[in-house]
Copies of this chain bind each other. A is one copy, B any other.
Amino acid sequence: MAQVIRPYGDSWGDGQVQLSFTLPLPAGPRAREAAKRLAAQMGLDNVQIVHSKDLQGFTFFILYGSCRHGVDVSALSHVDEEERSMSFEEINAFIEEQIGRRIVVVGACTGTDAHTVGLDAIMNMKGYQGEYGLERYPMFETYNLGSQVPNEALLQKAVEVHADAVLVSQVVTQKDIHIKNLTELVELAEAEGLRHRLIMVVGGPRIDRALAAELGFDAGFGPGTTARDVAAFLAREVARRLERGE
């Protein structure tokens, strides 16, 4: 049964949303009218321009309005909630029991990206937010290649150390450089016949599961991820593949 929800401002179904954008028009009644029309096209009723600022040739707007659109919650049931998390000890025990050997991972910030903090947070001893990194897990063998690593070099290293998984970090996203770069990595892995042998994981502030899947990765991790989340996923995924006899 359809169960449609709408944004909530201060009462059920009021549809209130806040919006801001800049239009390439000089400030004035025409720019205001354009802003209102745009908001109307976005499905907002009762549009209120609460602020506009002349940026010389451009106008910045802040608006509120009531969004006509709704989302049917019953249609979201296919979206998985997160898997139960496991503790450091549970994960190591799980790997020992179910897999019986260390999981090998190779990580890198690829392309021209030099933002290593996120990957280090997942891979290095020290970890992040009080959670140790993968390096600290007795049942993981880790190689952190650092920053600005070409896709070729990453795959080469993965082959060299018989990696179960590659962990890619992408932080710079301007003009969708990360999409380009990640797509290239998957294509390269496929071309080299490595794709099915590797669990491919991507992380970064603009990454989530949906995007990762779309780009052909096995998992994607966004802001706030800790090594434990990644370790649990890898442990389960390697076990699943063993079970399936891959």
Contact = CB atoms under 8 A, between A and B. Distances in A.
Interface of A: 5, 7-9, 12, 16-25, 28-30, 32-34, 36-38, 41-44, 46, 48-49, 58, 67, 69-71, 73, 76, 79-82, 176, 206, 208-210
Provide the main secondary structure of the chain A interface.
mixed
Number of copies of this kind of chain in the complex: 2
11 contacts: A16-B21, A28-B81, A28-B82, A30-B79, A33-B210, A38-B67, A38-B71, A42-B42, A42-B44, A42-B67, A43-B43
A37 B7 contact: no
Given A42-B44, A46-B176, A49-B208, 17 more contacts: A5-B24, A7-B23, A8-B22, A9-B22, A17-B20, A18-B19, A18-B21, A21-B67, A23-B71, A29-B79, A29-B81, A30-B73, A30-B79, A32-B208, A41-B43, A42-B67, A43-B43
B58 A8 contact: yes
